[in-house]
Structure 1
């Protein structure tokens, strides 16, 4: 259960455990498709815990954007990285979604985000590339990111 700081000053820390055991004030993030079809992987757990599929669909977000739900003291970020649930995302689309999430975080004073290894479960992206991208996107902010692995 130890936190291992990242090479670049600890912007990203890693925790072994359940993502949903993170502090209730942390915002959460994960990847979904534009069709908001959340029936597999961690997306299905987000769907059960936070609902809001209709609310997400009404935001009409496109690939490379982020849909957001406000739940109690935090935001839940839905990174739109692909068109349909059975497609695979590109690194470029993930980066655009991360940039959109960063913009929302800065605008709303979000200082902590907890997430799984986004894009690396059913979506099969390479974690070393994704973690480098996270560092790059958030390097000019004070936002702390905690990545949970089971």
Structure 2
């Protein structure tokens, strides 16, 4: 979908919209929730996690939530939720598709409970974590297809 389609459609039609675009994830409006993958130890020392850590802080808040792989930790920042998908135990581990799916399902529950209709993400699990984007994109569409949600995936 192109930029114009994105700008004209979201509020006009309900349902699930999966949009992939080039750009900066952090340029999204502050009303859009964000998500990315981290380890249970909340290290966030490499990749896009470093930017999340600097921009949203809250490491101690995340640790206090005591989430395990397959769960999701959440920070509220202004009008948005920032979701931290816990997909592995330690920073140097690799996630599995099962822990990713489980974390995404937990995030979906939170999104539904809190009326989140705009969620922006990087290609989760596919950078340093090494999961396959073709498979992850199918998982995302399967999990969120029954929601009224605009899911925008940003790639540089």
Question: For this structure pair, what is the TM-score category when the shorter chain's length is used for normalisation?
Answer: over 0.9
- Given candidates 19, 24, 32, the residue that maps to 1:18 is 24
Q: Which residue number corresponds to residue 79 of structure 1?
A: 85
Q: How large is the RMSD of aligned CA atoms in angstroms?
A: 1.6
Distance 2:49 2:142 in 1: 25
Whether contact under 8 Å (1:2, 1:16) holds in the other structure is no
Deviations 1:20-79 (A, max 9, x none): 001110000000000001110000000000000000000001110000000000000000
- Runs of 4+, deviation exceeding 4 Å: none
Q: Number of residue pairs matched?
A: 147
- Given candidates 32, 35, 41, the residue that maps to 2:38 is 32
- Given candidates 64, 69, 73, the residue that maps to 1:58 is 64
Deviations 1:95-145 (A, max 9, x none): 000000000000001001000000000001000000000000001111110
Gaps of 5+ in 2: 7-14
Whether contact under 8 Å (1:14, 1:147) holds in the other structure is yes
Partner SS for 2:31: coil
Q: Which residue number corresponds to residue 108 of structure 1?
A: 114
1:10: Cα distance to partner? 6.2
Q: Which residue number corresponds to residue 90 of structure 1?
A: 96
Distance 2:102 2:17 in 1: 19
1:2: Cα distance to partner? 3.2
Gaps of 5+ in 1: none
Whether contact under 8 Å (2:41, 2:63) holds in the other structure is yes
Partner SS for 2:2: coil
Partner SS for 1:11: strand
Distance 1:144 1:82 in 2: 26
Whether contact under 8 Å (2:74, 2:83) holds in the other structure is yes
Compute the TM-score of the two structures, normalised by the length of structure 2: 0.90
